[in-house]
Structure 1
Amino acid sequence: MNAPNIAGEPEDARTERHASWTELFFDLVAVAGVAALAHVLGSEPDAAALGLYTLLFLAFWLSWTTFMLYSNVTAGKTRVIRLMIGMFGLGVMVASVPGVAHSVLGHDGDTHPPTVFAIAYIATRIYGSRSWRKGEVLLDFPVVQYSTGLLPWIASIWVPGRWMLALWAVGIGLDLLLILAVSGNKLLKQAQAAFTARAGIRHQPVHGVRREGTLPAIHGVSVHPAHFSERLGLFVIIVLGESVVQVIGAAADAHYDVGVLATGLASFVLLAGMFGLSVVFGYAGLPHLRAGRIPARAALGLHCMVSGVVATVAVSLSAVMKHGSDPLPEQGRWLLCGAVATYFALGVVTGVVSHSSDLQRTISRIVTGIVVPLLLGLFATGAGGRTLVICMASVVLAHLWFERRLAPIADGA
């Protein structure tokens, strides 16, 4: 049984489904955690802050993915109380982010020790991994059913300081390695072989008495493609909406003038343009993707990176609001330019792997979307943050203009 591509089945093959109100509620709580990561980067992000930001984002995203895939596969049999408990775990993680930032980076906001985040993450992931019915093996993303990556997190509870973060990184690294290396079909075959062996032992006579009992049948399950792509797209949309809220919040604290209005407009155009590229001209929240072109596991990996980059752009835009027309610090300039360049780089990857880009489109996307932001990051040392945001918004608008003018590449082209 092979894992399907996203939206790789016609709607009449499987009952059409949409995200439920409970699932949307759950997504909002998860995105609140992404927004809380702004406490980590602060006003002048350095390598340590960016590393911690990435680590915590992956923890939030893996927790969200565990419950998202559970509700996707179980459909009408999803237990609402299970999602609510998962939401509570995510909420505890959100509340403890400032404490982690204070403990590790010295930022303000020491409300909870970092062990609170670790314990909440461990509990949420374990509880989520136990959501599956006995005998089910998720073929598309089996890492959510296993807890190997949690062992370093558990050990970190008794380890102070930066060694704790090192263990967190090892745990996340193990999960990422499992995502890349572990095949759902291979796990299914191993589980079925183990089931057959246990079933044979169960029915062997012992001291003249035959053992009786039943074991759950082992079978593979796959994601519902349409519902899966909808959840990915909705998550990116909510991250974009939360990004707008962050910019508005930063603008509310700034001295109102024409410059603030121009920065806010350019920021909105930039985020709205990303919405257009990821949703209107993309699929499942991924820019330049087409339905049914890549496996679900690849879509999840790209979705993780796109969501994280969009959240990073929001932090950069909020910093520009605070600095006004003044030049951004070097770290802040590279954070903004690098995040935008990474977003377009991911768009190039999705366009190539889903065969939605020809050579001309790929080259134009690389030059305008990647090279231009990187050149600005390298040479625009004296440019104000407002000017950089206007330049980035112009790049996005140019991409939208090209997408509207160019005809889509037909399937099989």
Structure 2
Amino acid sequence: MNTADEAEDVRTERHASWAELFFDLVVVAGVAALAHVLGSEPDAAALGLYTLLFLAFWLSWTTFMLYSNVAAGKTRVVRLMIGMFGLGVMVASVPGVAHSVLGHDGDTHPTIVFAIAYIATRVYGSRSWRRGEVLLDFPVVQYSAGLLPWIASIWVDGRWTLVLWAVGIALDLLLILAVSGDKLLKQAQAALTTRAGTRHGARPEGKLPVIHGVSVDPAHFSERLGLFMIIVLGESVVQVIGAAAEAHYDVGVLATGLASFVLLAGMFGLSVVFGYAGLPHLRAGRIPARAALGLHCLVTGVVATVAVSLSSVMKHGSDPLPGQGRWLLCGAVATYFALGVITGVASHSSDMQRTISRIITGIVVPLLLGLLAHGIGGRTLVACMALVVLAHLWFERRMAPAEGGA
């Protein structure tokens, strides 16, 4: 085996460090805190705020996750710790932001604190890269254009705060979709050459500062995405347990807890055991890292939403869920399976028959329940969702030997 092969083996065998896992736990704590936003009867405003705050946590996590992925053994643990502190401030501000924005209590301090912590965390994370490095897979984490509306939001209040936050997040998402890392690298190299020539006259090319592109370590990248999904699912179980501990204990609570656990454990099976990088039905190396990261954001957000719905069912007992709560649970489960259909088709792991069955059982059935199950108790609804997930698990397990043989 030559030196290049040995280096590749070392790269493939790299795993997430303890510091990286510690960092992930703090971010997921922020995701769990978002339960304060949706409450028991979520409306459009609550769902919009929930989405904005989740994306803020996810983009902050992505910035540091990709830094440690590329830096590998040169990752500075102190830098991760400082990032964790900023995220901790964001987490602590979530309940206050929810009361300020949704409760209209007039106290703007929590929103200001959250905005400043988010800006500082993102800027600090974007400065983690070594001089001359351009991340080809996800260049948005190195740039701060999307933070300008967040900075402006510090001096406004009311609805304009959320509008500016939404504009900032939208700018980042647009950069994710539109900006090519290769194109950005060429522009940076051209700009550096022009600037150097203007300031110092003609230089020998070898003396110019070096700008080069870097890419993620695929094995470490997929592991971090998978671990993040596992932690989100674990935190979801904790939320359900916490809600059950506050409810009056009876057989119904026990049955709801069992169905909730089956639902979340089934998502673990589909996303981790029969999936890849925390994404259901995905296969290794089938889609670009940027696409996997974007889908990961959606899937983890949906799983976190399911956890909030399950906790709400625990509180409502056998009573039917309010219309918004019912649609939140059914819509989240349907979205999870819709994203699974997308990853299955994109990674060519699904034939036509399997795709159609996933659409009918995973998307159509939950949506019909959301539309028609007005008088069905929340506990029955959770049991139906658990049966849907179990059916998918059974099908995946049944098809796994055939795929292995192929």
Fold shared, TM-score > 0.5 on shorter chain:
yes
Matches within 5 A, 1:2-401: 12=9, 14-106=11-103, 112-204=109-201, 216-401=209-394
Contact 2:193 2:208 in 1 (8 A): no
Q: Could you tell which deviates more after superposition, 111-120 or 72-81?
A: 111-120
SS of corresponding position for 1:235? helix
- Amino acid aligned to 2:244: A
Residue 404 of structure 1, aligned match among 377, 397, 402: 397
Structure 2 distance, partners of 1:341, 1:174, is 28
Q: Deviations over 1:98-155 (max 9, x none)?
A: 11100111189x7952110000000000000000011000000000000000000000
Contact 1:55 1:172 in 2 (8 A): yes
SS of corresponding position for 1:137? strand
Offset of residue 16 of structure 1 = 2.0
Structure 1 distance, partners of 2:100, 2:131, is 40
Q: Could you tell which deviates more after superposition, 14-23 or 316-325?
A: 14-23
Offset of residue 195 of structure 1 = 1.9
SS of corresponding position for 1:394? helix
Question: Taking CA–CA contacts closer than 8 Å with sequence separation of 6 or more, which of the two structures ends up with the larger relative contact order?
Answer: 1
SS of corresponding position for 1:124? helix
Label 1:168 to 1:270 Cα distance change in 2 as closer, same or farther (>3 A). same
Q: Deviations over 1:258-317 (max 9, x none)?
A: 000000000000000000000000000000000000000000000000000000000000
Contact 2:269 2:393 in 1 (8 A): yes
Offset of residue 198 of structure 1 = 2.5
SS of corresponding position for 1:220? strand
Offset of residue 54 of structure 1 = 0.3
Structure 1 portions without partners, runs of 5+: 1-9
Structure 1 distance, partners of 2:111, 2:96, is 6
SS of corresponding position for 1:286? coil
Offset of residue 201 of structure 1 = 3.0
SS of corresponding position for 1:298? helix
Offset of residue 196 of structure 1 = 1.8
Structure 1 distance, partners of 2:301, 2:285, is 23
Contact 2:271 2:278 in 1 (8 A): yes
SS of corresponding position for 1:287? coil
Label 1:200 to 1:118 Cα distance change in 2 as closer, same or farther (>3 A). same
Label 1:200 to 1:408 Cα distance change in 2 as closer, same or farther (>3 A). farther
Write out the 4+ residue segments of structure 1 that deviate beyond 4 Å after TM superposition.
Answer: 408-411
Offset of residue 214 of structure 1 = 5.8
Structure 1 distance, partners of 2:403, 2:323, is 43
Contact 1:278 1:288 in 2 (8 A): yes
- Amino acid aligned to 2:392: H
Contact 2:40 2:312 in 1 (8 A): yes
Structure 1 distance, partners of 2:364, 2:104, is 34
Contact 1:37 1:57 in 2 (8 A): yes
Structure 2 distance, partners of 1:358, 1:408, is 16
> Where does residue 6 of structure 1 map in the other structure?
none
SS of corresponding position for 2:11? coil
Contact 1:101 1:107 in 2 (8 A): no
Structure 1 distance, partners of 2:110, 2:366, is 38
> Where does residue 7 of structure 1 map in the other structure?
none
Label 1:203 to 1:306 Cα distance change in 2 as closer, same or farther (>3 A). same
Q: CA RMSD in A?
A: 2.1
Structure 2 distance, partners of 1:137, 1:291, is 24
